[in-house]
Amino acid sequence: MITNLKTTFAGLKLSSPIIASASPLTATAEQCVELEKAGVAAIVVKSIFEESIAHNSQELADVLSHGEETDYLDGYIGEQMVSEWRSTLKSIKDACTVPIIASMACRKIDTWERYARVADEVGVDALELNLMNVARNTRHTPYGDTEHHLVRTVEVVRKITSLPIIVKLASNMTNPAALVDRLKACGADGVVLFNRPYPVDIDIETREYITGQVLTTPYNLATPLRWTGILSAEVPAIDYALSGGVKNWQDIVKAILAGASAVELCSALYEHGIDYIKELKQGLEEWQQSHFEESVDSYRGRMNASNSEYAASLFRAHYLHFKS
Could you tell me the CATH number of the domain that includes residue 118?
A: 3.20.20.70
In tens, the pLDDT along 204-248 reads: 999 999 988 889 889 999 999 999 999 999 999 999 999 999 999
Q: Is the pLDDT of residue 201 over 50?
A: yes
Inside any domain, residue 1: no
Whole-number percent of the chain with pLDDT over 90: 71
Inside any domain, residue 64: yes
* pLDDT number for residue 160: 95
Inside any domain, residue 323: no
Nearest to 240 by CA among 265, 261, 264: 261
Quick one: pLDDT band at residue 80, thresholds 50, 70, 90? Answer: confident
**How far is the CA of 264 from the CAs of 232, 248, 308, in angstroms?**
17, 12, 28
* pLDDT number for residue 172: 83
Inside any domain, residue 2: no
Inside any domain, residue 91: yes
Inside any domain, residue 321: no
The sign of the dihedral angle between the CA atoms of 54, 77, 35, 190 is: positive
Mean pLDDT within 34-58:
80
CB 166 within 8 A of CB 190: yes
Nearest to 39 by CA among 90, 97, 118: 97
Least confident of 27-41, 116-130, 170-184: 170-184
CB 150 within 8 A of CB 167: yes
Quick one: pLDDT band at residue 28, thresholds 50, 70, 90? Answer: very high
Mean pLDDT within 300-315:
94
Please give the residue range of the domain that contains residue 281: 7-315
Q: Is the pLDDT of residue 49 over 60?
A: yes
* pLDDT number for residue 106: 87
Inside any domain, residue 258: yes
Q: Is the pLDDT of residue 266 over 70?
A: yes
Q: Is the pLDDT of residue 35 over 80?
A: yes
Contacts of 239 (CB under 8 A, 6+ apart): 8, 9, 10, 189, 190, 191, 261, 262
Surface-to-core class of residue 25, CB atoms within 10 Å of its CB (0-12 exposed, 13-18 middle, 19+ buried): buried
DSSP 50-81: HHHHHHHHHHHHHHHT-GGGHHHHHHHHHHHH
* pLDDT number for residue 140: 64
Mean pLDDT within 268-292:
97
CB 85 within 8 A of CB 105: no
Mean pLDDT within 173-190:
94
Q: How many domains does the chain have?
A: 1
Q: Is the pLDDT of residue 289 over 80?
A: yes
Highest-pLDDT range among 46-60, 120-134, 235-249: 235-249
Inside any domain, residue 34: yes
Q: Is the pLDDT of residue 126 over 70?
A: yes
The alpha-helical segments, DSSP class H, found in the chain are 29-38, 50-64, 70-95, 109-122, 145-160, 176-185, 222-234, 249-258, 267-272, 276-290, 308-315
Q: Regarding predicted confidence, which is higher, 76 or 31?
A: 31
